[in-house]
A = this chain, B = another copy of it.
Amino acid sequence: MSATTETPKPNLLELLWRAAPESGRGPRKGLTVDEVVAAAIALADAEGLEAVTVRRLAQELGKAPMTLYTYVPGKTELVALMLDALFQGMERPQESGAWRDRLTAVARDNYRLYREHPWAAAASPSRPPLGPGQCEKYEHELQALEGLGLNDVEMDDALAYLLAFVRTAAQDAAQSEAERAASGMDDQEWWEANGPLLAKVLDPERFPTAVRVGQAAGEAHDAAYNAEHAFAFGLERTLDGLAALIER
């Protein structure tokens, strides 16, 4: 029996921390994990996450598709690496003000990140894997919650709660934009196409409150849904909710 050396598949964590064994045998590597990840991010930024296919990414890097599997075990891991790289690249300005201002800054920083990289909001899980970027981000954002009288568990709860809100708001904003773009209709065309049916079917006697409130909301924002307004409204509510915990 020949001693076939089982090539140990790199773990996601090892990959995130770039803790690969680095064995010098064989041909030189033509790329680095960072280059692959950077190219993937650039591609996702430019054309959306659905454009990041193995073939396309390889083409972008001037390699054959299967080459990428030398650097990354699969697409899932690639997306995790992309996210951690994004987190690592965020600025972490030291905030010093009232807790509400500090948390507002955290929320806005996250919102901006997701709006600049719309694919990231959809790809990001509530608890990202513990890569260096995620750890630095967590460390930094926890600072905004120190010294408020919260215990450690509450600090974690509060941060996760705030971040989940921001992620969802950004996700909804991106999805709403994407749908609008995909439909190819502006608001006027949509109403011309669907208004007549809706008028017939949205009976004010069957849906009195819904028709009243829906109409008011639709007129208040220019459209059926205003993502920026939803974010602004929700952020105040979220901070008020945390205030009840902090200033108790």
- What residues make up the interface of A, taking CB atoms closer than 8 Å to B? 11, 13-14, 17, 19, 125-127, 130, 132, 135-136, 138-139, 142-143, 146, 151-153, 155-158, 160-161, 164-165, 167-169, 172, 175-176, 179, 193-194, 197-198, 201-202, 206-210, 212-214, 216-217, 220, 224-225, 229-230, 233-234, 236-245
Contact = CB atoms under 8 A, between A and B. Distances in A.
A213 B244 contact: no
A79 B156 CA distance: 35
Number of copies: 2
Main secondary structure on A side of the interface with B: helix
Contact of A241 (B143, B168, B194, B238): B238
Nearest to A216: B152
B220 A153 contact: yes
Contacts of A224: 127
A134 to B, nearest CB: 9
A209 B141 CA distance: 10
A234 B161 contact: yes
A197 B11 contact: yes
A243 to B, nearest CB: 7
Contacts of A152: 212-213, 216-217
Contact of A155 (B151, B206, B208, B213): B213
Nearest to A171: B126
12 contacts: A13-B198, A125-B175, A126-B172, A126-B225, A127-B176, A135-B207, A138-B207, A142-B210, A155-B213, A164-B234, A237-B238, A240-B244
